[in-house]
Amino acid sequence: MATRHHRRSSRVFDARGRTREELFRTLGTSELGLSQSEIPARQQRYGLNQISFHRAHSPWWMLLQEFIALFPLLLLGAAALSFLADYLSPGEGYDLIGAALLGVVTLNAAVSFMQNYKVEKLMLSFLDYIPKEVALLRDGKQQLTDAKEVVPGDILSVQEGDKIPVDGVLLQAHQLLVDESVLSGESEPLNKSALNDGAVNEENTVSSGATVLKGSATLLATRTGRDTKIGSISELSRDVSQDLTPMQKELSYFVRRITWLALGIGLSFFIIGFFIGNPFWTNLIFAIGIIVANVPEGLLPTVTLALTQSSVRMGKRSALVKHILSVETLGSTTVICTDKTGTLTRNKLHVETLYLNFKEINQRNRTDYDSLPAAREASEIMALCNDVIATSDNHNGQKGFHGDPTEVALADFVEAHGGYGRIRDQFELLHSRPFDADLKYMSATYRTADGALYMTVKGAPDVIIDRCDRLHGEESFRTLTSQEKEQLAQQASHYAAQGLRVLALASSLVQKPEAEPQAMTFVGLVAMVDPPRPEVPAAVAACHSAGIRIVVMSGDKAETVAYIARKLDIVQDPRVVEGDQLAAMNAPRLEEVLRDEQVVFARIAPEQKLTIVEGFKALGEVVAVTGDGVNDAPALKRADIGIAMGQRGTDVAKEASDIILLDDNFATIVKAVEEGRAVYDNIKKFITYILTSNVPEILPFIAYVLLPIPLPITVVQILAIDLITDILPAIGLGNEPPESDIMQRPPRKRGERLVSYHTFIRSYGLIGPVEALLSFLVFFWVLESGGWHWAEPLSSNTILYGQATGAFLATIIFCQIGNVMACRTNRQSAASYLLRFNPWIWSGVAVEMLFILMIIYIPLFHGFFSTAGLPLWVWSGILFAPWIIFAIEELRKMLVRRGASWLMA
């Protein structure tokens, strides 16, 4: 079992610069592999060959976390005060408030926990990165063993399609081509060779997590588990700290403000009570009532439900939200730092351009290809000088190919222009020379139908052009001049400078199958690129419209990064900063570079991606990072929001992220940004809506203490507003569709508050007091009509008192109907929204109306809610109230649109 105190720094083995003999001696092994008897000791020393990409969380701990956030703690504190008040003064209904608050916190915790636990189970299902079984040599015998059991010193065999489970040195290699893009971010596969007589260099090493694209090899394991390169990046991402999300910061700010407001009002009237002669315990109970009345009990579940529903909607759009608070963070994003390979691009090469007889064939004139005289021979070379394996037809009925990505791209092109299999069936293979890194070409010789020996060659343009003396012209072959050779070389350099991968194609009739390629006929150049994903251009344009900057940071070469950034219109004139340049920068220089909106980053290491993210955050930007590779994980975790690709993304990237794109579609990010902006707007709307009713709930208690009047509203009625009538309309505001211009606005400023002083002024200084005034007017209207006189005692058991409190409650509820309609927009007139259907809002309004009619006219509810049946004439005042609220809000918004910013909500 791996020990918990495993430390990377004390045992990491560096193979570079060592000879074969030194490797075997230092690792205590031989060509026959390790002895089975020494494996337990080595496992004790090095640990198991496994990396914990995701620490499983205890469900009980996850549930506890839901209770100890700031907002739940505020409600639990209010519940404790309510039970204290009930203990001091039983029968006033404070026990109901305490129980309701506990119920709210528990319900909210359950909803949030279920969402997070569902994501936790999905994360655990992702984790299967290191292969389960490997072939290795022990005691001189080949055996299949669980990959977790591999230790440094083991000798392993890998072949095409395998994931390499350890860091190691190649002892034998046959045409080995590996893909390390998940580690380096570089899309180009790497040719690897075995260690012979010299010292170990990069070409002799392979890394855990890489994939064998072609060939086979035997390797000596030098590092396992957390000591591997992939393990070190995983550890780096674990050590990276995460900041609070903008929504967490804003809710924390709001909770502090509402707490101080409640305590301030409660303390003020606690002191006032002494001046008017009330005893200490009466003042304390009254102060507790004021404090608890200020706590918006319904806000916590409403926020949670709004974020959860938004997460569900994003899930339907193939975006898995791991943390519901991350939904809003996307809406405030100002910079998206994105990897290139597999995120902006398909992570699959395709033929972008051909150059035949000095004519360029690209996407615009691709249909001209088949009509060119040189096209047939170009297709033959691409098909015949190729080692890919053709796979069975897929669901589209097209042939698939497996092997070197470059050769797969050539085969795909030929398949679309004449048929790969049809061409190969016409020839008989006699000899093949694999690609040689020193010679820089590959050749294959075939027998034609008439018995001629036909050599096909592809390779580096400078090498191939130098070996050619003829050119495939319009109708025939002709001599290739020195000036034409120079022109071809310049064209190849032009393509390479654009970030394209360029090969030259040539052929020759030879006397012997094993002949050296000389005096060949030059056929053409083929330029390939890992193309942009088709949905990305529109997504980039949408980000620009929304004021969001996109920054490419990749491990790929500078030319390729610049080409993709320019092609996608991310930047117009790329300023490429490479890893070594970035490493030499001090903080002021880095800040200057990051402010340049044309900058892109190439050839950068994982820790440098982290530096870029931290640099943007230091500038006050809200940073989203997208990626799929292991090398992206530290930056994904440090970002304000990390977005991992679900299909090709590594487990490390998924674990470090906040959102996982299940369809790997960059365009989904734009939809998620829109959702994030909408949910922020909507939360702002329903907080404004919910806070408003606090004023007509608090003022009756203050008036009751200061004035000789009956208590206009009871504790039970306050609970009915906060937990019954206000909840559904608030949820409805949380589900309002985004406003039409939401993606044309710039991101909100980092200092902009979710609940600003303007919000408090609107709720506590304007609409709230108007609601209270209207409710008091109806309350006293009912009392006066029933014969009550000022300062006259009125028992809570009388019908008149029930009618008056019922009228007060009904007026608040109908005022809130006008308020919820007004809150459907922030600045624009809400008049057009009155008939716009939102099922949650209209259901909420229906529930409010049904509820108030039930508790007023059904005798069964009169005792509990302290109500009584109202005469019909009272409703004339109640039904007029919402229109007054709506009109005042429309006037306020009109003044805001005309420049009265102090009236902003």
The rounded radius of gyration (Å) of the Cα atoms in the chain is: 36
**Adjacent-strand bridge partners of 601:** 553, 577
* Rounded CA separation 144/515 (Å): 42
Burial of 496 (0-12, 13-18, 19+ CB in 10 A): middle
Q: What is the DSSP letter of 398?
A: -
Identify the CA nearest to 278 among candidates 264, 293, 289: 289
Strand segments, DSSP code E, in 328-451 are: 335-338, 350-356, 359-361, 389-391, 400-402, 428-436, 441-447
CA distances from 90 to 84, 116, 340, 389, 468 (A): 10, 39, 66, 83, 103
* Rounded CA separation 692/121 (Å): 40
Contacts of 903 (CB under 8 A, 6+ apart): 758, 762, 892, 895, 896
Backbone angles phi, psi at 198, to 5 degrees: -85, -160
* Rounded CA separation 771/620 (Å): 40
Q: Active-site residues: which are they?
A: 339
Q: How many CB atoms lie within 10 A of CB 180?
A: 23
Answer for the pair 727, 803: CB distance below 8 angstroms, yes or no: no
Answer for the pair 853, 813: CB distance below 8 angstroms, yes or no: no
Identify the CA nearest to 816 among candidates 652, 695, 682: 695
Sort strands 428-436 and 623-627 into parallel, antiparallel or unpaired: unpaired
The three-point CA angle 261-264-268 to 5° equals: 145
At 130, list the tokens. 């290191």
Answer for the pair 219, 155: CB distance below 8 angstroms, yes or no: yes
The three-point CA angle 657-661-667 to 5° equals: 120
The three-point CA angle 530-534-536 to 5° equals: 95
* Rounded CA separation 636/306 (Å): 25
Identify the CA nearest to 458 among candidates 402, 526, 403, 360: 526
The three-point CA angle 577-583-587 to 5° equals: 90
* Rounded CA separation 75/78 (Å): 5
The three-point CA angle 636-642-644 to 5° equals: 90
**Amino acid letter, 505:** L
Q: What is the DSSP string of 801-837?
A: HHHHHHHHHHHHHHHHHHHHHHTT-SSS--GGGTTS-
At 742, list the tokens. 């939401």
Answer for the pair 296, 694: CB distance below 8 angstroms, yes or no: yes
Q: How many CB atoms lie within 10 A of CB 856?
A: 21
Q: How many CB atoms lie within 10 A of CB 630?
A: 34
At 4, list the tokens. 């918990």
Coil/strand/helix, residue 167: strand
* Rounded CA separation 901/438 (Å): 71
Backbone angles phi, psi at 718, to 5 degrees: -60, -45
Sort strands 190-192 and 167-179 into parallel, antiparallel or unpaired: antiparallel
Contacts of 517 (CB under 8 A, 6+ apart): 441, 443, 455, 457, 467, 506, 508
Backbone angles phi, psi at 659, to 5 degrees: -130, 140
